[in-house]
Structure 1
């Protein structure tokens, strides 16, 4: 695990399963527009949360790229799930701004709900095709930009499924936290 503290807020990068972060108040779902179970992150979260999550999501859909909504966590060990629709790279434009909006809006929902710790996957980097290094730079820059506005959120965790992805996150966290 790589960890840096910026103005009292810890940013951590770990390899693991986003649906198994019991020490986080909220996890972020890299959702689809309809907030349905799917593959990848959304599938893992919905599977672990159980059918109640899908039922709670239905009236909140559809969401637009960059938008975030919050639900309960159901059978997950967290209090909430924050669902973000990341941009499809090369389709949803401006993709950089929309991806930053995902991270920003998720942090703001966590803050509005008095949450202290939030875990993010690498939004839009799977099936949505966003290049990992570019997406990571956007995530880190957004975290750093939002930290001065955070009062309740004191821990931000990036949960990467694969070791090569973690190496990129670790390197770029080191660059922004100098």
Structure 2
């Protein structure tokens, strides 16, 4: 029989009803499979119909408000915030620390850009290799998940970090956050 243990938390959020790549030039995408080949691309003026402190675009980029950015910066974690509008009130959040993950289902390999068009079923290799639960930090998975231009790494929080951010969501009324456990099965001894 297996028990589930929480090895970290996913930082998800509501949809902001915007497209990150709405005005992106063609050279940002592979002309063979359509996947993004420029991970550094940023829109000049991302317009969000649905404002929230934490939200995701249709093409799966996590956008945060200046208020949320400033709170995360007080925690002293290694996270980049890249402005996606002219007045610098909206930011793409990109954790600097990477944790090892694998996609257990890969489909449609592209010979031109050398990536799979579909990568799903995330597996926390960091846990399988170390047996350690994440405690503190904000991380990006080493692999992107999703399909086509929606593929992007998942934001993972350590268990203590998830608690701190969860409390801040309530205290400061940060709108949009969804913090969900990442669990793995372990055999009973």
TM-score normalised to structure 1 length: 0.29
Q: Which is richer in strand?
A: 2
Q: Which is richer in helix?
A: 1
Greater C-alpha Rg? 2
TM-score normalised to structure 2 length: 0.28
